[in-house]
Amino acid sequence: MTENSKLKLLLATNNRGKVEEYRSLLSDLPLELLTPENIGTLIDIEETGTTYEENARLKAVALARASKLVALADDSGLEVDFLKGEPGIRSSRYAGQGASDADRVKYLLKKLDGVPWKERGALFRCIIAVAAPDGRVEFCSGICEGIITIAPCGELGFGYDPIFYFPELKKTMAELPMDVKNRVSHRGKAARQVPDVLRKLGYIIT
């Protein structure tokens, strides 16, 4: 398959961390990965859904229709047992609009101040929506389980990665090299289903 014949797949995000992960996760597929910035389609999509699926669908469908390309969007979140599933779908807005990754980490750790290790269980959840320009949508999903640390550790990744600890690996997500993170992460597990959903939508992926 030549470069020109690759399926163009629009990643419905301008988050540099996510774009880097998807370029790694989908690198073995015959896809030309684009971002809204690449094609000048910089539309702002408000995440008004009440579930990960709704938010992922909103973004994927809007970008697919605007660009006339197949679009991939995800909505993901951190769910902490002690906080009854918070921050969940509000993960990126948990510390308020305009908050940085460091602000969100600090805010979450403050909520867990004094909570013992055995009660700090959590999971990351990712839902991917892949939308065709005609509005058809297919979904992928993935989760990974871990523990929220007492303090951040690690310089890799983004978001809540520095406080999400894998007991079996004895490292936080922010300490994992990309190939290991892709193997164990929620986004990695969901992304491995992308070839199947592209086939369901009628695109040939070999």
Determine the 3-state secondary structure of 141 from DSSP. strand
Catalytic positions, please?
75
Kindly calculate the radius of gyration of the chain based on its CA atoms and give it in whole angstroms.
Answer: 17
What is the structure's pLDDT at 201?
Answer: 93
From CA 105, how far away is CA 127, in angstroms rounded?
Answer: 22
* pLDDT tens profile 53-112: 999 999 999 999 999 999 999 999 999 999 999 999 999 889 888 889 999 999 999 999
Inside any domain, residue 65? yes
From CA 189, how far away is CA 48, in angstroms rounded?
Answer: 25
Q: Which residue has the higher pLDDT, 59 or 38?
A: 59
Q: Which residue has the higher pLDDT, 205 or 138?
A: 138
What is the structure's pLDDT at 1?
Answer: 39
Domain that holds residue 10: 3-200
- 5 pLDDT band, cuts 50/70/90, is low
What is the structure's pLDDT at 145?
Answer: 97
Identify the CATH number of the domain in which residue 149 sits: 3.90.950.10
Residue 183 buriedness (CB in 10 A; 0-12 / 13-18 / 19+):
exposed
The domain tally of the chain equals 1
Spell out where 35-120 has E strands: 70-80
Sheet arrangement for strand 137-148: 31-34, 7-11, 70-80, 121-131, 137-148, 164-166, 171-172
How do 31-34 and 137-148 pair as beta strands?
unpaired
Inside any domain, residue 83? yes
pLDDT of residue 47 exceeding 80:
no
> Taking the model in full, what pTM does it have?
0.89
Inside any domain, residue 205? no
Mean pLDDT of the region 2-7 = 63
What is the structure's pLDDT at 45?
Answer: 72
From CA 112, how far away is CA 101, in angstroms rounded?
Answer: 17
Inside any domain, residue 206? no
Q: What is the mean pLDDT of the chain?
A: 91
* pLDDT tens profile 189-201: 999 999 999 999 9
Nearest to 12 by CA among 93, 91, 69, 54: 69
